């Protein structure tokens, strides 16, 4: 099983094996707090930029086309939360290669060759549309593969990438809950702009907060986060059109003081969606988001002062 690496250990050659095909990076990068720690874990499951050579051989799409489903640069937008005492967990492999925000059994048997054995696939609507844990399409009807791929390839990706990532995320949240009496997962994503987003609401939002309609995160935490984004000048909506994915549903349990909140950022704010490049506005957006995160952590710590004091004794 691959080991996690601290982002600080990468500083001599930043992102060297994160963004190229030279060697295989670990399943994730983990960055520890550089200030007094707190219950927050910021995870970026879709910003991975590593495309294995074997993936390019199997795919009929070009390198740029494969990148169109990335939550590109989201990990960079949140780079700095560790200075506020949070932990950051970043996926390394591309979303089109393996979608970490799906359940492990969200597989579409028809896209694979070989024997699946007793694997109990969850054929929900997302999977049938080609958006399972091993995606069949990029989006907009763009098939990734020219035909079936070996089922062993799917199991290999689950074993080497999916399981280590979720084992690490689970252990981080359990450790925070044990130390502080609560844990908060902020699942960091980006959303495409354009007609589809506009059709679902009167104006395109800058931020969509997903708490699975109040089931994955307390109203206080969601409301506090919404207020802070609004005060920072962002247009915010809740749950429409993104209510939260697998991570928020799986890890969020407000009754046990385990909160999971998905944050979607409109890509047009900080990147060119066609060329997948940062805009000149990127750093300004990043600083505004980091300000929101710092105030979010401070506000949460104030609300949960008793558990924090108890944990520190």
Local structure of 168: helix, strand or coil: helix
Q: Which H or E run includes 219?
A: helix 219-231
Split at pLDDT 50, 70, 90, the class of 120 is confident
pLDDT digits (tens, 9 = 90+) for 24-44: 899 999 999 999 999 999 999
User: 5-312 is classed in which CATH architecture?
Assistant: 3-Layer(aba) Sandwich (3.40)
Report if pTM > 0.85: yes
Which pLDDT belongs to residue 198?
52
CA atoms of 153 and 150, how far apart (whole Å): 5
Which pLDDT belongs to residue 234?
98
Split at pLDDT 50, 70, 90, the class of 104 is very high
Q: Which H or E run includes 221?
A: helix 219-231
**Assigned token pair, 286:** 């990043």
pLDDT digits (tens, 9 = 90+) for 257-311: 999 999 999 999 999 999 999 999 999 999 999 999 999 999 998 877 634 333 3
Q: Is the pLDDT of residue 119 over 80?
A: no
The DSSP bridge pattern shows strands 271-272 and 277-278 to be antiparallel
CA atoms of 2 and 276, how far apart (whole Å): 29
Q: Percentage of the chain with pLDDT > 90?
A: 81
Q: Percentage of the chain with pLDDT > 70?
A: 86
Q: Which H or E run includes 125?
A: helix 125-128
Which pLDDT belongs to residue 141?
78
Neighbours of 234 (CB within 10 A): 19
Contact 184, 41 (CB under 8 A): yes
Residue in 58, 78, 55, 34 with CA at minimum distance from that of residue 289: 78
CA atoms of 71 and 78, how far apart (whole Å): 12
Prior bond to 241 cis, omega within 30? yes
């Amino acid at each position: 099983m691959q080991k996690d690496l601290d982002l600080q250990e990468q500083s001599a050659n930043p992102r060297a094996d994160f963004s190229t095909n030279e060697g295989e990076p670990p399943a994730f990068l983990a960055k520890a707090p550089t200030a007094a720690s707190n219950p927050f874990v910021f995870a970026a499951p879709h910003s991975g930029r590593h495309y294995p050579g074997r993936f390019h051989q199997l795919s009929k799409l070009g390198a740029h086309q494969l990148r169109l489903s990335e939550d590109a640069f989201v990990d960079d937008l949140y780079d700095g939360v560790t200075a506020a005492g949070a932990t950051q967990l970043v996926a390394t492999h591309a979303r089109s290669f393996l979608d970490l925000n799906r359940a492990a059994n969200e597989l579409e048997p028809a896209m694979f060759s070989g024997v699946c054995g007793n694997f109990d696939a969850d054929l929900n609507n997302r999977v049938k549309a080609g958006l399972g844990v091993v995606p069949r399409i990029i989006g907009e009807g763009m098939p990734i593969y020219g035909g079936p791929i070996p089922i062993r390839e799917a199991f290999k990706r689950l074993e080497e990438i999916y399981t280590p990532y979720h084992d690490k995320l689970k252990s981080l949240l359990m450790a925070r809950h044990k130390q502080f009496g609560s844990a908060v997962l902020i699942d960091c994503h980006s959303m495409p702009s354009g007609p589809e987003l506009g059709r679902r609401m009167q104006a395109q939002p800058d931020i969509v907060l997903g708490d699975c309609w109040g089931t994955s995160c307390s109203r206080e935490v969601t409301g506090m986060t919404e207020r802070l984004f609004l005060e920072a000048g962002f247009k915010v909506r809740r749950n429409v059109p993104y209510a939260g994915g697998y991570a928020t549903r799986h890890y969020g349990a407000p009754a046990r003081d385990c909160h999971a909140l998905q944050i979607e950022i409109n890509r047009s704010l900080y990147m060119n969606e066609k060329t997948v490049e940062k805009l000149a506005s990127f750093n300004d957006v990043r600083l505004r988001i980091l300000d929101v995160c710092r105030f979010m952590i401070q506000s949460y710590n104030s609300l949960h002062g008793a558990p924090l004091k108890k944990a520190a004794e």
